[in-house]
Structure formats: C-alpha cells, structure tokens
Copies of this chain bind each other. A is one copy, B any other.
Amino acid sequence: MNQVNKNNCDLQTFGTVVGFREDVKVLDCTVRDGGLINSHHFDDGFVKAVYATCVAAGIHYMELGYKGSKKIFAPAKYGIWKYCDEDDIRRIVGDNKTGTKLSVMADVERTDYHTDILPKNKSVIDLIRVATYIHQIPTAIDMIKDAHDKGYETTVNLMAVSIVSDKDLYDALELFVTSPVDTIYLVDSFGSFFPKQVREMTAKFREIVKGTDKQIGIHAHNNQQLAYANTIDALIYGASLLDVTINGMGRGAGNCPMELLLGFLKNPRFDLRPVLECIQKTFVPLRHQMKWGYAIPYMIGGQLNQHPRAAIEVVEGQHPDDFLAFYDRVIQEES
C-alpha cells in the first residue's frame, strides 16, 4: 500500500516501507536505560544475555551503562554498570570480536572524563555518548573533543528538548555542527512529542547538518505509546541512529521496543527470533522484580510535558491505579 500516493510529501524524504537504508543503525540501550530502574544492579548473567541477543539479532551498538564519577556516585549505592569499568565490560564481552559495537553514556558534570575514559586503544568501547542539558553545552563539547581525540566515535544527546526554546535548540545545534561529534540526537526525555513534531524536528536537524557527514539519532520514550511511532517517523525523515531497548525496558514508560522496530526494518542483517527468545526467557521473569512500560500516570506526565519522576512515584507506590488523585494533583500544580 505504500505506493498509493506518488506525490505524497513522504516521498521527498528517506524511507519506503519495503526497502532499507544502509545508513540506518540500531543502538540497544537496555542495560543503560533499564539501569535507571534498579540503580544499575544487573548481574553478569543478565548483561551477557542482552549482549548475546544484540549480537545474534544483528544490532549495531549495545550500550552498557554510564561512565559515572565515583566521587559523585558512591559505589556502595550503585551497581557496576553505573561506572562501566573496563574490566567489568571485558568480563562480559572479552575482546568483543562481533558485529555489535559497544557504547557507554557520559553525563556532563557527572563524569570524570579526563581520567575515566581511557584512550581507545586501551578500551573495548567504541562509542562515547555525551548526554547534556542545554545549559551545559560548552562542557559537552569539551567532552566530545576529548572522546574524539582519544579515538572514539561520539554522539551528543541533548536531553529534555521539549522544554527548550527553538532559539536555544538551534543555537546548540549550530555549536554541535562545528564540533567533531558524529551523531546528534533528538531526545524525547519526557515522552511528550507527537510524531508530527518529531517529523518536523528531524527534518530541521537534517537541514542543520546538511553538507557535513554528521548524522541524526532518535531516543524516544513511551509515555504516550508513541516511542515506536516517533522512532520510525524520525527514521523516515532522516534519522540514522535509532535507540531501542529489549521489551521496551527503561525508566518509567520505557523506550522504543527492539522487537517492534525490527518488524519495521527490512535489513537482512536483523533477526527477530533471538529477541523474542530473550524476552521470553529473561525479561518475562524479570517483570516480577522490576516495573517498566506504559501506564496511565506516564501518559498524564507526557501530556503535560513533565519529567516522569512524579509518575514513577505513583506507579511504584501503594496506589498505582489511583490516576485521578495524581491527575488532580498535577493539574493543580500546573496552575
């Protein structure tokens, strides 16, 4: 049915439903975003299962966690994937002789990047993803340069874009364009964007990187059941690097599920079966210990463009189904 309207504007863009683009790459951030649920206390068995699944499914990148500063985040409080020490990673992946590259996230002002990010020739990590808020851009750019100079691929993930003005956003993008960063991410931290907005923003991001070899990435959240839709529309409008998590695991409403996205992508390198196997064997049992995925309090937060913090408290609290009290409270606070 995708040839119905030959003059449709989508055909000015990058995607059809039956082919595939070589530039499109999938990044699994299950262990990193999922770690926000349990303070990164995953055992090796879980991380190995996710790694084996990513390799078998043809996923391009797997993100293991954060490069958190041990001065700021006391190791007594967090699991090892808050820090992603080289030895811990190698215990899972060895020298990683696979088709799946490895990534870690480095938060601005929460990473001792000069010391904790090793030169690339001493690390099995391939990609450093710098996560920044709008008021931290100069430090983010210094971190990008540091990682780039050490020999890594880099992305910059500007968070909470939905509460940033257009002017500030485009000023930030102009700075990123002059940096050595490889991929600039559109991050829907609050799960508040509609697909129409994602299409328009992705097109604008592409306009800004035009003439460079930089690419666009998309990281979506499922607060309004739109993570998958937003991801495939970003793809069609020009995003190349697509974040997913197995079974949608991630903080609050979670992320774009890998299993859904692989149903859209037609690149023969991908295989859905190992993902389904991993969900069945590893994630279904885990749901007794960890909570993630769409729920009405997240919808309310997404509709109001709010940080999911308050909704998480409701969903993980004593009265997860008392939507009405939560709604009345946030509506009052809005005024």
Chain A positions within 8 Å of B, measured between CB atoms, are 1-5, 8-10, 12, 15, 17, 161-162, 166, 193-197, 199-201, 203-204, 207, 222, 224-230, 232-233, 236, 257, 259-260, 263-264, 272-273, 276-277, 279-280, 284, 296, 299-300, 302-303, 321-324, 327-328
A194 — which chain B residues lie within 8 A by C-beta? 17, 232, 264
- Is the beta-carbon distance between A226 and B229 smaller than 8 angstroms? yes
Select one of B201, B230, B321, B328 contacting A4, CB under 8 A: B201
Tell me how far the C-beta of A292 lies from the nearest C-beta in chain B, rounded to whole angstroms: 14
Residues of B within 8 A of A327 (CB): 272-273, 276
User: Closest Cβ of chain B: how far from A252's Cβ, in Å?
Assistant: 16
Q: How far is the CA of A44 from the CA of B28 in the complex (A)?
A: 48
Shortest Cβ distance from A287 into B: residue: B321
* Sample of 25 A–B contacts (CB below 8 Å): A1-B161, A1-B166, A1-B197, A4-B166, A4-B200, A4-B201, A4-B203, A5-B200, A5-B204, A5-B207, A8-B199, A10-B196, A10-B199, A15-B196, A17-B196, A195-B229, A224-B263, A225-B229, A259-B296, A260-B299, A273-B327, A276-B296, A276-B300, A279-B296, A280-B321
In the docked arrangement, what's the CA distance between A17 and B201, Å?
Answer: 13
A219 smallest CB distance to B (angstroms): 16
- For the complex of A and B, the 7 pairs showing the least CB-CB separation, nearest first, are A9-B9, A229-B229, A263-B303, A5-B200, A4-B200, A276-B323, A4-B204
Residue contact A195 to B4, C-beta cutoff 8 Å: no
- A230 CA to B1 CA, complexed, in Å: 15
Are A276 and B15 touching (Cβ within 8 A)?
no
A272 to B303, CA, bound (A): 11
In the bound assembly, the distance between CA atoms of A166 and B3 in angstroms comes to 9
Most interface-central of A9, A15, A166 (chain B CB within 10 A):
A9
Q: Which residues of B contact A199 (CB under 8 A)?
A: 8, 10
Residues of B within 8 A of A222 (CB): 225
Determine which residue in A3, A257, A296 has the highest number of CB atoms from chain B within 10 A of its CB, and name it.
Answer: A296
Residues of chain B lying within 8 A (CB to CB) of residue A300: 276
Given known pairs A8-B199, A17-B194, the reply for A299 and B263 (CB within 8 Å) is yes
Give CA–CA (A293, B263) in the complex, Å.
19
In the bound complex, what is the Cα–Cα distance between A277 and B326 (angstroms)? 11
- Complex-state Cα separation, A125 to B232, whole angstroms: 40
